[in-house]
Amino acid sequence: MNPSKKIVVKIGSALITAGGKGLDREMIANWANQMADLRKQGCEVVLVSSGSIAEGITRLGLKSRPNNISELQATAAVGQMGLVQAYEACFQSHGIHSAQILLTHADLSDRRRYLNARTTLRTLLEFGAVPVVNENDSVSNEKIRFGDNDTLGAMVANLVEADLLIILTDQEGLFDANPAEYPDAKLIRHADAQDPKLSEYAGPSSGHLGRGGMETKVSAARLAARSGTHTVIVSGRVENVITRVAKGESIGSFLEASEGHLAARKQWLAGHMACTGELSLDQGAVSVLRNKNASLLPIGVKAVSGVFNRGEVVACLAPDGSEIARGLVNYPSDECKQIIGKASNQIPNILGYLSDPELINRENLILMES
Residue 19 — very low, low, confident or very high, per pLDDT cuts 50/70/90? low
pLDDT at 202 over 50: yes
Q: Are 98 and 14 in contact (CB under 8 A)?
A: no
Mean pLDDT of 135-141: 65
CA–CA gap between residue 180 and residue 235 (Å, rounded): 16
CA–CA gap between residue 306 and residue 317 (Å, rounded): 13
pLDDT in tens, 62-84: 988 888 888 888 988 999 999 99
Mean pLDDT of 321-345: 93
Backbone angles phi, psi at 156, to 5 degrees: -65, -40
pLDDT at 205 over 50: no
Q: How far is CA 161 from the centre of its chain?
A: 7
pLDDT at 192 over 80: yes
What pLDDT does residue 266 have? 63
pLDDT at 218 over 50: yes
Q: Of 195-199, 262-266, 292-296, 354-358, which range is least confident?
A: 262-266
What pLDDT does residue 267 have? 56
What pLDDT does residue 211 have? 40
Q: What is the mean pLDDT of the chain?
A: 86
Angle between helices 25-40 and 69-92 (to 10 degrees): 50
Residue 278 — very low, low, confident or very high, per pLDDT cuts 50/70/90? very high
pLDDT at 45 over 80: yes
pLDDT at 14 over 70: yes
C-alpha dihedral (91, 230, 169, 246), degrees to nearest 10:
-40
The pTM assigned to this predicted structure is 0.74
CA–CA gap between residue 28 and residue 237 (Å, rounded): 11
Residue 183 — very low, low, confident or very high, per pLDDT cuts 50/70/90? confident
Q: How far is CA 8 from the centre of its chain?
A: 7
Amino acid at 168: L
CA–CA gap between residue 172 and residue 251 (Å, rounded): 9
What pLDDT does residue 338 have? 97
What pLDDT does residue 147 have? 52
Mean pLDDT of 109-113: 70
| Residue 185 vs residue 210, higher pLDDT | 185
What pLDDT does residue 145 have? 52
Mean pLDDT of 82-91: 94
CA–CA gap between residue 206 and residue 210 (Å, rounded): 9
What pLDDT does residue 144 have? 40
What pLDDT does residue 355 have? 86
**Structural domains of the chain sorted by starting position, each given as residue range(s) with its CATH number in brackets:** 6-266 (3.40.1160.10), 273-367 (2.30.130.10)
Q: Of 6-15, 220-229, 266-275, 303-312, which range is least confident?
A: 266-275
Amino acid at 266: K
pLDDT in tens, 342-359: 999 999 999 999 989 999
Q: Are 258 and 191 in contact (CB under 8 A)?
A: no
Residue 264 — very low, low, confident or very high, per pLDDT cuts 50/70/90? low
pLDDT at 143 over 60: no
